[in-house]
Amino acid sequence: MLSPFLMSLLWIPATLVAATAQTARNATQRSLTDAIGVVGATQVRFVFGLPFAALFLGLASLLAGALPPALDGTAFLWCLGGAATQIMATALMLTTMKQRSFAVTTAYTKTEPVQAAVFAALVLGDPLSLPKFAAIALATLGVLMISFRRGEPVLGAGLQPLVFGMLSGAFFAMAAVCFRGAILALDHGVFFLRASTILVWGLGLQSLMLIVYLGLRDRPALTGSFRVWRPSLFAGFLGALASQFWFIGFSLTAVANVRTLALVEVFLAQIMSRKLFAEMTSPREIAGMALIALGVAGILLLAI
């Protein structure tokens, strides 16, 4: 049994695992967009992720020595809201990636922590002090500074990618808040069992929504994902793995803490890129990484 202090820190490694798996999943999904379209690639993470989520729930139930908790009406509505907004967020993100670079799309969607902090404070009552909001804003500004290359206009292909990218971040923020609301609404069960339970319900609802939609509107996209089942299965596994650890993080601390620490993935990707090893890092990139580091450090100090 972990001590209370270690339990208070457990959301940190959970978030880092989730961010790593999500980065790999996004790249895999992006490669599927050209083959089966935006909606087809969107449904892959849900339909192909559901079996893995069910496996995770079985393991969590065995570890906890208890059955998964039942959802009441409140938990179900929170979960339904999270399922719907996450579908919209993913579709908007993949649409933006088709029009702008991966880095720029990341910049647009990574405005999520600021939006999540506000939504969670208003809807769930998660604490949002001025120092905490400043730390989140600093880290988000750092992402923006790193992601846009010199000479690359913010609007680039037009206003639509900017709008879609920002909306994607907003819907991701709403989804995170809804799923945390669903986890908190469960009346019993250890944190990881409640997280796994909501994950299965969420993916189940999302799979149902998308199978019905694609069956009525775009059957080739639905059947196409089964033709490319290997990358689809891999994307589904990575999606379920990332969501499992996101939900564990949401079960332990405020949404804003989890989503701000997740910005470390942008920081690490820049450090590990060939460009930063082969060329001199620009003052703007150094400043951006410094802001991300300061913002994340501030969140950690305020949350611990």
pLDDT digits (tens, 9 = 90+) for 218-248: 788 778 778 877 888 888 999 999 999 999 9
DSSP state of 282: P
pTM of the model: 0.86
**Number of folded domains that form the chain:** 1
- In sign, the C-alpha dihedral spanning 50, 236, 224, 37 is positive
Residues 6+ away with beta carbon under 8 Å from 65: none
State the residue range of the domain holding 265: 4-303
pLDDT digits (tens, 9 = 90+) for 181-204: 999 999 888 999 999 999 999 999
At residue 280, does pLDDT exceed 70?
no
**CA 82/CA 23 separation, integer angstroms:** 20
**CA 193/CA 140 separation, integer angstroms:** 31
At residue 277, does pLDDT exceed 50?
no
pLDDT digits (tens, 9 = 90+) for 52-82: 999 999 999 999 999 999 999 999 999 999 9
Confidence band, pLDDT 50/70/90 cuts, at residue 134? very high
